[in-house]
Every structure is written in C-alpha cells, then in structure tokens.
Amino acid sequence: MLGVTVAQEAALKLKETAMLHAELFSAAEIMHSPLQMVQPGFPVLAFRPDAVSDTVAGQALERLGQTGGQVFIAQTERGHGVLPFIPSRHPLQDALVMLVSFYNMSETVARVRRQKPDKTSRLRKVTEPF
C-alpha cells in the first residue's frame, strides 16, 4: 500500500512539472485494461518498497516487461531500469525515501522535455483557499 501513495504523488508531479500524462495503477489493476495500452518502449515506473514482498506485483512487472514496456522500478538494489533509493531505518518510512529519489528524476525529465519545473505556467506553488 505504501507504493500506491508514492505513485499517486509521482503521477501528480510528472503532470505538474514535465507536462506528461501519468496515472497510478495497482499491480492488480495493471493486469486488466491498462496492460492493453503498453507497447514497446512505453515507460512504466513502479514503486515497490522492499518491505512489501508481493508476488502479484512481481508478476505484473514481469508481464509489463514481456509486452515491451520500458519498466523502471524504485528499489534499493541498483542496476539497469532501477530508480535507486537508500532504505530508511524503518520499512514504513521507505515510501518517503523513494520520493526523494523520484523528485530528482522528475526534475531531470522535466528539463529534458524543456519544461521549467519551478515555474509552471498555470499553477502556483502556494495554494490559497477559494
């Protein structure tokens, strides 16, 4: 469940800073209609804290890779297709640590797409009540 909250924030941040459409799906949801959209090279970013040993998530990620999707996984192990993060001292805090790694990546993605992540065209950094 921790990965879901991080994925929700990540999807919002990619929309805000990089102007990319991003959606959150659980591993179970991916195996339904979202799997149909994945074509070769389609980017998939999965947040999977080490505290969660979930075979459904592992099977979903394997299936996404088989479709040709470009799968990146936030995890503590380093390697190709990995968004690395250093684990916290408590597994329940790993979701927060993953976000730090993701924020660095999202800034890079935004800049590569010639966006200004700190100066969005329609959003204000401080949200005021209506």
pLDDT tens for each residue of 9-22: 999 999 999 999 99
Tell me the CATH number at 18. 3.40.50.10490
- Domain ranges, residue 6: 2-112
SS3 71: strand
**Whose structure tokens read 């968004």?**
83
Looking at the domain assignment, is residue 121 inside a domain?
A: no
Which H helix or E strand runs over 75? Answer: strand 70-75
Percentage of the chain exceeding pLDDT 70: 88
Interval 86-122: pLDDT, tens: 888 887 788 888 888 899 999 999 999 999 888 877 7
CA 93 vs CA 59, 72, 85, 118: distances in Å: 25, 21, 12, 26
- The answer, yes or no, to whether residue 52 has pLDDT greater than 60, is no
pTM score, whole prediction = 0.80
Q: CA distances (Å), 122 to each of 5, 17, 39, 96, 116, in order?
A: 25, 11, 31, 27, 12
